[in-house]
Amino acid sequence: MNSILAIVFLPMLAAIVAGLGNRMLGNTVAKSITTGALFISCALSWPVFLSFVSGTAHESVTPVLLWMQSGTLTVDWALRVDTLTAVMLVVITTVSALVHLYSWGYMDEDPDQPRFFAYLSLFTFAMLMLVTADNLVQMFFGWEGVGLASYLLIGFWFRKPSASAAAIKAFVVNRVGDLGFMLGIFGTYLVFGTVSIPEILEAAPVMAGSTIGFLGSRWDVMTILCILLFIGAMGKSAQLGLHTWLPDAMEGPTPVSALIHAATMVTAGVFMVCRLSPMFATSETAMTVVTYVGAATCFFAATIGTCQWDIKRVIAYSTCSQLGYMFVAAGVGAPGAAMFHLFTHAFFKALLFLGAGSVIHAMHHEQDMRYYGGLRKQIPLTYWAMMAGTLAITGVGIVDVFGFAGFYSKDSILEAAYASGTSAGMFGFWAGITAALLTSFYSWRLIFLTFHGKPRWDQSEHIQHAVHDAHGHDDHAHAHDDQGHHDAHADGTAGYHPHESPLPMLVPLGVLALGAVFAGFVFHHSFISEGTGHFWQGAVAFTEHTIHAMHEVPTWVKWAPFAVMLTGLLIAYNNYLRNPKAPAAFVEQFSVVHKFVFNKWYFDELYNFLFVRPAFWLGKVFWKQGDVGLIDRFGPNGAAWLVARTAGVAQKVQTGYLYSYALIMLLGLVAAISWVMVG
């Protein structure tokens, strides 16, 4: 299909034009080209998705070129479109197009807008290459492409040390996961003799139970391959252990956070596991590992989200937690539920991030919620948009009546985990229920601290400096002072009145709010209802038996998410509106637990002790003792010393007297004749 070529390659062409043209094109032209290309890709993606929903479309492969050939390895560059790809196409292009439009307002004063928009389009192209991959090598190309683009965008304000450090951290942590992914690809080719995804999935059931000898023991082949591949997914999708890069990624501009968290990088790992689900289904051990890691991440990230003050970090840990839900679904044999949550999550998570960006924009780039309050009347459109996102992520809805997006997708995961009947599934269910309680608490905490209560703006030195020193910002921390004005209070202190964001920022919020409200209700029959075979068409191992078991769970299982959602809401209301002193009293009483959770379970400190400091020490040893003390000493420095000493001796011979030179020549001649005679 020619439309598929346009969907995938238009963002790439736009990125090339905007990147190479840069300031020669000017801000408006560069933004128009990249944004226009993404909206065209989006417009072409929706008919493809809807055709799969209606059952009129079938799997197709669009060849591009023969990429590489070496011996028995043949890698074609081809674009495969099936249900999984169609879902990802609308997620990626819709969110990316809206993020491009949103950035017109948010990045309006940045001097490097063409470079920013080129990076955004490059990010989108890399993700589209990943989800349309017909083989593992092509998938790896997109996999590394999103890693590169994330590095460029997280460190976009590269003069800011924290942004550069965050970009490097994301790149390095993902290299750890990518090593596992590469080993998984190598092993898969070794076992199956091909990197073609359809051929691998077709042959996977035959390999179930096969073993390989290693270190004197027999190991299950499919378990090893699946776990290696999952390690790659853990890095990209920020699962427990390889999650530390995700919160620091907030150093990039807010539109970048929305794109990374909703539609591109972090969803790559979930997509890969769902794409290869028939392969994972051959190993019960691998499925168990996926379930436990996802459940642990789901709970772990939710606990940290309850303590953060930075509005973007709360939503970042929320992403980490929601990704855990998706892996629980994939691990219990319900990848369709995982893809459904990925689909709905894209709408409400992009909405929450862009809404947070609107708040930050209105508050002169202040991100600490302790300095917000009372913004409901100041920025009402942003408030209602974020309310829609909060209702979606907390899973508000009534069983068999209506619910917001997360109500259908998250509840389907919990039902699938319970219906699996395995110990790993039950662990995933209870971890997910607990995380749902925490999700409701920290989501409503964010709403109450930001939009309700008394304004606390004058307590922020950041805002006051931005208001009084509008020219004191640099090119990576710009303040939109034209969006607010200040006047003098009766007591002479400076007051600040936030204003609503400009139209290019509000339109994406409105569109995403519609998705957060209706995406689950409209599409849940296609994703998780019985008789969805025409939709999935064998794209994932999602059996009718699994779907039937999900719908047959006890009634209390279906109502449990609603109950914990309501509990979290009431706790947040009591602590941040009705009795604002309660949180401080809780922290004082449980100071050890709070400190542990507030410091993110000390993962950064642990990794710094185990890996970073030893790496720096080892590097210093190689530098001082190895490079300087050994190589330089006996290499270039030693050679220079020898030349200098030899030159000093030769200098003494150069007297300038003719008889001295004659004597040397005579001695040389005698030495030569003696050598010949002795020889």
pLDDT at 64 over 50: yes
**Spatial CB neighbours of 441, under 8 Å, sequence gap ≥ 6:** 306, 568, 569, 571, 572
Give 153-164 pLDDT, tens digit per residue: 999 988 888 899
Out of 91-105, 204-218, 456-470, 527-541, the most confident range is: 91-105
| Between residues 324 and 109, the one the model is more confident about | 324
Give 597-652 pLDDT, tens digit per residue: 998 899 989 988 988 899 989 988 888 888 888 888 888 888 888 888 888 877 77
pLDDT at 2 over 50: yes
Q: How many secondary structure helices (H) and strands (E) does the chain include?
A: 30, 8
Give 496-555 pLDDT, tens digit per residue: 678 888 888 999 999 999 999 999 898 888 888 766 655 666 566 556 677 778 888 898
State the DSSP string of 186-222. Answer: HHHHHHHS--BHHHHHHHHHHHTT-EEEETTEEEEHH
Calpha distance 336→229 (Å, rounded): 19
Give 351-384 pLDDT, tens digit per residue: 999 999 999 988 888 888 988 888 888 899 999 9
Six token digits for residue 503: 């139209």
pLDDT value of position 285: 93
pLDDT at 313 over 70: yes
Give 411-454 pLDDT, tens digit per residue: 999 999 999 888 999 999 999 999 999 999 999 999 999 999 88
Using DSSP bridges, classify how beta strands 211-214 and 73-81 pair: parallel, antiparallel or unpaired: unpaired
Cα angle vertex 167, ends 162, 169, to 5°?
90
Q: What is the mean pLDDT of the chain?
A: 86
pLDDT at 38 over 90: yes
Identify the band that residue 486 occupies on the pLDDT scale cut at 50, 70 and 90.
Answer: very low
User: 211 pairs with which residues across the strands?
Assistant: 220
**How much of the chain, in percent, has pLDDT values that exceed 70?**
92
pLDDT value of position 327: 94
pTM above 0.85, yes or no: yes
Give 76-100 pLDDT, tens digit per residue: 899 999 889 999 999 999 999 999 9
pLDDT value of position 480: 38
Out of 60-74, 167-181, 469-483, 623-637, the most confident range is: 167-181
pLDDT value of position 463: 59
Calpha distance 358→255 (Å, rounded): 10
pLDDT value of position 471: 38
| Between residues 142 and 457, the one the model is more confident about | 142
Q: What single-letter amino acid sits at 678?
A: V
pLDDT value of position 252: 86
Identify the band that residue 466 occupies on the pLDDT scale cut at 50, 70 and 90.
Answer: low
Nearest to 339 by CA among 411, 428, 267, 234: 267
Left, alpha or beta for 303 (phi > 0: left; psi -120 to 50: alpha)? alpha
**How much of the chain, in percent, has pLDDT values that exceed 90?**
48
pLDDT value of position 484: 35
Average the pLDDT over each of 20-29, 206-215, 537-546 and give the range with the smallest value.
Answer: 537-546
Left, alpha or beta for 669 (phi > 0: left; psi -120 to 50: alpha)? alpha
Judge contact between 267 and 342, C-beta under 8 A.
Answer: yes
Identify the band that residue 399 occupies on the pLDDT scale cut at 50, 70 and 90.
Answer: confident
Identify the band that residue 462 occupies on the pLDDT scale cut at 50, 70 and 90.
Answer: low
Average the pLDDT over each of 178-182, 183-187, 299-303, 466-470 and give the range with the smallest value.
Answer: 466-470
Q: Is 322 exposed, middle or buried (0-12, 13-18, 19+ CB in 10 A)?
A: buried
What number is the average pLDDT over the span 647-665?
A: 79
What number is the average pLDDT over the span 546-569?
A: 89
Identify the band that residue 494 occupies on the pLDDT scale cut at 50, 70 and 90.
Answer: very low
Q: Sign of dihedral through CA atoms 511, 513, 515, 521?
A: negative
pLDDT value of position 622: 87
Identify the band that residue 483 occupies on the pLDDT scale cut at 50, 70 and 90.
Answer: very low
Helix (H, G, I), strand (E, B) or coil at 581: coil
pLDDT value of position 492: 35
| Between residues 324 and 543, the one the model is more confident about | 324
Identify the band that residue 481 occupies on the pLDDT scale cut at 50, 70 and 90.
Answer: very low
pLDDT value of position 493: 34
Helix (H, G, I), strand (E, B) or coil at 64: strand
